[in-house]
Amino acid sequence: MPGLVTLVVVLLIALLVAAIAGGWTAYRHAQYANRPEYQWARDVLSYESQLQGKCRSLLANVRAAAGEYATGIGKVWSKATAEAWGSLSVDSLAQEDNIGPGTVDKLKSAGIQTVQAAGNHSQLQSIDGIGPVRAGLIRSAVAVCRKKVYESLPKADQGPGYEARRQVEGLKVALEDSTETKLRDLWSSQSQLMDLLPVSELARWYRRQVLLSFREPPVLPQGLVPFEPPTGSKKAPPTPAKPQVVAPTPVPSPVQPPAPPPAISTPHVLSKREQFDLVVRVAVATAYADGNFAKSEEQILMDQLHQQFGKDPDLQPFIADCARAAGKPRMNDLWADLECLGMDQRRQLYRLCCRIADAAGSRNTKEVQFLEELQRGLGLTAQPSAGNPISPSSQNSEMDPESARIYLEIDPLSPLSIDLVRRQHRMLLERMAVVRPNTLGSEIEAMLGIRKERLLSAATILAKHLGEPLEPPAAPATATSSDPRYNPDLDAALGL
């Protein structure tokens, strides 16, 4: 009983404290409701709440679409499996061990036309000519046939398996079309939330000072009120003013002033954030060139982003989830921004795309075509390929330092030095020297000779680019004597 009284007293005290706190909060809110700083804080927090609600709604829609996609895939393959298994003729059992045509004919005479019916038959021993041993062999053959059907279904070129693959591709395209805009909006809303974070923290602190304090609220700096939600649109580059034509000065021998130069539009200089978004979207477009974004490709993109933008505190929060949030970009929307990059930035971006394309193995036709279009769009020199060999007479005129790096298998992101060039050149020559001469035929020997000439040409071009000779300078010769008693160290010690 005393414990119950104590609990009631504690509850009453808690209710009293809550009522006093609620009343004080309502009083402070009514007292400072018309204060501009307090209105500013309320507007900021209201806008933040709207953005958070929008992000939650978009994320829920994307998850729902992904769930429908997974359910659709399950239904498609379940239907295809049922059709393939239900249509498999009982004649297929004759291809298995210990099952002959006579056994198949006995099953047909009993009205069993499919392998599935044979597996579902519970009394195979009741069929004439089939005993317990043969019934067990039939059930084993049915299990083997079922396994073969399940394994061959995803690779089938016709029938239910082929139709199921087509339907799955259609579901995948529908999922990408339905979530592309939502993912882009989700990325934009999350970016706005991150940009708003310092302001919202200040507003949250000020609201606490108003509602939960007994003091006069502090005065915030001027310029914070009223709050206007950011639009997030990029500013257009400034348009250059038209040149003014200066009239000639009236002199006895008038000299006409030179014509003003034509107005040249200044290219838009991308900010760090715009460069970050552009690199992410182009890299993700490269990864999706073959229709699949592999984990190894994402890891290479993350490493490059940390190396290139990781030191910027404003961009660090966006690196972790930027790849998946970018959706599936279209290159037609990126060419205008790529024109704003310098040549060094374009080469660095192209090297990143090449590394992403090579991350999951050898490049397929779609990846090669995508990289060729990207290379032409960036205005970079075409790289030599094995399909279009360069003649030895035109190697020096067509090969540039970028192509030479590729021939020497030098990492595009590693710093270039004359020691690295010499080492790579020597290693590749030693790799080809392992082949014994006159053992591969005249055509292969000729190809190896052309390969050696290309390697020498590539190494020479890079050495010339670095301003160093390809061969290291020979060490100065030391004076020697034919006298076996000659010892220069002893002469130096004796002062001779």
Please name the residue that has the structure tokens 């052309």.
Answer: 450
Alpha-carbon gap, residue 354 to 368, rounded angstroms:
9
Confirm or reject CATH 3.40.1640.10 for domain 268-382, answering yes or no.
no
Work out the pLDDT band at 264, boundaries 50, 70, 90: very low
Nearest to 285, CA basis, from 343, 350, 231, 210: 350
- Per residue in 308-327, pLDDT (tens digit) is 888 888 887 778 777 767 67
Q: Would you give the DSSP letter of residue 154?
A: G
Q: What is the mean pLDDT of the chain?
A: 78
Is 262 a residue whose pLDDT tops 60? no
Most confident by average pLDDT, 170-184, 404-418, 482-496: 170-184
- Per residue in 5-53, pLDDT (tens digit) is 888 888 888 888 888 878 878 877 777 777 788 888 888 899 999 999 9
Alpha-carbon gap, residue 103 to 330, rounded angstroms:
60
Please report the pLDDT score of residue 391 as a whole number.
42
Is 248 a residue whose pLDDT tops 50? no
Please report the pLDDT score of residue 257 as a whole number.
46
Please report the pLDDT score of residue 239 as a whole number.
40
Six-digit token string for 188: 């934009």
Please report the pLDDT score of residue 55 as a whole number.
93
N-term to C-term CA, the chain:
115
Residue 456, H or E segment: helix 442-466
CB atoms < 10 A from the CB of 402, how many?
14
The 3-state DSSP class for residue 388 equals strand
Least confident stretch, 124-133, 395-404, 465-474: 395-404
Is 229 a residue whose pLDDT tops 90? no
Please report the pLDDT score of residue 296 as a whole number.
83
Please report the pLDDT score of residue 387 as a whole number.
38
Helices (H), 87-159: 101-109, 115-120, 132-152
pTM score, two decimals? Answer: 0.41
